[in-house]
Amino acid sequence: MWWHQHNLCFRRPIEEDYSSRDVEEKVATIAETDESAESEGVIDSHKRREILSRRPSYRKILNELSSDVPGVPKIEEEKSEEEGTPPNIATMAVPTSIYQTSTGQYNEETELAPSHMAAATGDMPTYQIRAPTAALPQGVVMAASPGSLHSSQQLAEEATRKRELRLMKNREAAKECRRRKKEYVKCLESRVAVLEVQNKKLIEELETLKDICSPKTD
């Protein structure tokens, strides 16, 4: 991982905590003080989004930190140089035609169709990715070919297919993003521990030097 490779997180102090719950508490506090919001009793989700300004990504922050330190490479795209990449990262390593997620089972890539089976948690749809040509509805294939007639239904199917594909990719991306973020937080925590030890040692050293430089006269 990039932060492990470069030991990036041991360079500069932590500047920000990325707890979304903290943000939610702050927003809630703001909302409580907002008279109009009080009168409504509920904050509109759009209003919440306006209140919440998007924070810079943790990856960007690390880049900025590293740019101040000569010899520290910037964070690039995550390379899978490291061995032992978790096999459950579906977007990176799908060894066979089937892989499992928490909400559904995915078959081999390329074609997606919502099955809307009731997932374990409730009404989350599950998706099956079908093989390229085998089970593909003919209408979808025709819609993809140039010059063919596009009925409104075919267009709708195509739009739906694209949406499902995008959702599936985003789902996997979100998982990967969370995994990276957890590692990032762990990294910061270990950095705190190291700096605390260093600080303690320096304080002890300072006390020792003070004793040496100013010996007691009585």
Partner DNA sequence: GAAACCTGGCGTCATCCTAA
Partner DNA sequence: TTAGGATGACGCCAGGTTTC
Residues at the site binding DNA, with contacts judged by CB under 7 A: 18, 20-21, 23-24, 27, 45, 48-49, 51-60, 77-78, 91, 101-104, 120-122, 124-125, 166-171, 173-178, 180-182
Q: Rounded to an integer, what distance in angstroms lies between the CA atom of residue 127 and that of residue 125?
A: 7
Closest listed residue to residue 128, CA positions, set 141, 110, 115, 118:
115
Q: Is 24 helix (H, G, I), strand (E, B) or coil?
A: helix
Q: How far is the CB of 67 from DNA (least distance, A)?
A: 12
Q: How far is the CB of 92 from DNA (least distance, A)?
A: 9
Q: How far is the CB of 209 from DNA (least distance, A)?
A: 41
Closest CB to DNA among 40 and 207?
40
Closest CB to DNA among 92 and 203?
92
Q: How far is the CB of 174 from DNA (least distance, A)?
A: 4
Is 41 in contact with 34 (CB distance < 8 Å)? Answer: no
Query: What are the residues facing 127 on neighbouring strands?
Result: 114
Closest CB to DNA among 24 and 211?
24
